[in-house]
A and B are shown apart, each in its own frame.
Chain A
Amino acid sequence: DTGVSQDPRHKITKRGQNVTFRCDPISEHNRLYWYRQTLGQGPEFLTYFQNEAQLEKSRLLSDRFSAERPKGSFSTLEIQRTEQGDSAMYLCASSRTGSNQPQHFGDGTRLSIL
């Protein structure tokens, strides 16, 4: 169990640029979740995958956001035309299927928009 890995740990970019984050889940986990955490708040759900299928997207996820998990292993989260309000910590978690299965989190990608 090598844990959930996220890359990069930090990303600083100018407003209007596109950014992409990567998440490598624990290998035997078929569920993968993306959350966003702003300062002083708890994580908020963005989207999740069951294997390669994206099953739900939050209303927080505007059209500028897209997530993929092409082979049911790693996932990418892309933000196009970044805005100041996108500054946050983006957390990835993975688990086995089931509400009783604990989610294991990566250390997150902190995005700062200049």
Chain B
Amino acid sequence: AQSVTQLDSQVPVFEEAPVELRCNYSSSVSVYLFWYVQYPNQGLQLLLKYLSGSTLVKGINGFEAEFNKSQTSFHLRKPSVHISDTAEYFCAVSDLGTDKLIFGTGTRLQVFP
């Protein structure tokens, strides 16, 4: 069965510092991977997705992620964060049978001034 592990439940960082949010997945087959962001009392917004091709994927709001098949990882990065990036971030893998998303438990990014 597929699963997603987000190793850090909370990541505090100062404004303009770089950040990396870690995500590891387990799957015996090829996967599609996604990062979503959730602001308080809102639904999830797609940041970026990896389907195939280049392992470095660029998304919205200056975020990017790198797919590493050998390490089964899909870490999210941003070189310089803003206060407005404070939110919950979810990594997800798409089940190839039903296309349902399997989410990690999330990482709360808190950006301090």
Contacts and interface: CB of A to CB of B under 8 A. Distances in A.
Interface stretch (A13-21, A62-70, A80-88, A93-101): A93-101
A92 to B, nearest CB: 8
A114 B11 CA distance: 33
Contact of B45 (A6, A43, A97, A105): A105
A97 B105 CA distance: 26
Contact of A104 (B46, B104, B105): B46
Nearest to B92: A42
B46 A99 contact: no
Contacts, number: 66
Interface residues of B, number: 26
B74 interface: no
Contacts of A93: 43-44, 101
Interface of A: 4, 6, 31, 33, 35, 40-45, 48, 55-56, 91, 93, 95, 97-108, 110
28 contacts: A4-B43, A31-B99, A33-B100, A35-B101, A40-B105, A42-B4, A42-B104, A42-B105, A43-B101, A44-B103, A45-B101, A48-B98, A48-B99, A48-B100, A93-B43, A97-B99, A98-B99, A99-B32, A100-B94, A102-B46, A102-B49, A103-B46, A103-B101, A105-B36, A105-B45, A106-B43, A107-B42, A108-B42
